[in-house]
Structure formats: structure tokens, C-alpha cells
Amino acid sequence: VQLQASGGGLVQAGGSLRLSCLASGRTSSNYHMGWFRQAPEKEREFVAAISRSAGMTPYAGSVKGRFTISRDNAKSTAYLQMNSLKPEDTAVYYCAAGVKFGTSPILYDYWGQGTLVTVSS
């Protein structure tokens, strides 16, 4: 499956962005989806995940209450709605797909190219 992330950009602190991850090549509804991010000189970290049926949606503590993950299997797309953005949210955001569910990046088999989110103070 190929993943294409989009929706990143420059936003002021307190603003909002919605990231999209379009899946193609195989039936995306067969995969759990996740969002991860990587800031300069830092390791990639978990942001949020959503199970195949959207019944489970864990979040990193740093984004809980501000970010919302969702998916539309009919459109083969996963979303990450990001509200109340902070400068520390600045990173390249990656979407991922896998047959195993969890918060570790090693569980995911397919990765998108990343989209840059920059939050100015």
C-alpha cells in the first residue's frame, strides 16, 4: 500500500491544521493507521493511531485533547485534526499503515513521505 500525507504548513500557535493520509494500492480498511512525528535531532515519536474499524484511538499524552484522529475507509483516507497547536508540535508528520495495532513504529509496515508542520510562537 502506498501512503501520501498532505496538509502540513506554517501556522501560528493556537491555530489548527488537518493532515490527510491517502492510501492506495490495497484495501486501506484492512490496515490500522497511525500518525508519528519527528522533530529535528529527535527520534520519531507516536502521535495517534486508529484501528481498522476506528474502535480504538490511542493518543500520545502530549497531544491528547488537542488532536483527533479519524478515518474514512470509503475514501481510503486517514486524518489528523490538530487544534491548539504549540511550537513544540513543529515536526515532520508521517502516516503509517500496518496489520498490527499499537503505538510503536516498528508495528507499521508502510509509511508515507511526511508532511512538515511548523508552528510559530
Q: How are strands ordered across the β-sheet holding 67-72?
A: 2-6, 17-24, 77-82, 67-72
Q: What does the pLDDT look like over 27-38, one tens digit per residue? A: 878 999 999 999
pLDDT at 48: 98
What is the rounded average pLDDT of the residues 65-85? 97
* DSSP tag of 26: S
Query: Is residue 26 pLDDT above 80, yes or no?
Result: no
Q: What does the pLDDT look like over 81-100, one tens digit per residue? A: 999 999 999 999 999 999 99
Q: Cell triple for residue 8? A: 502540513
What is the rounded average pLDDT of the residues 108-120? 97
110 near 1, Cβ under 8 Å? yes
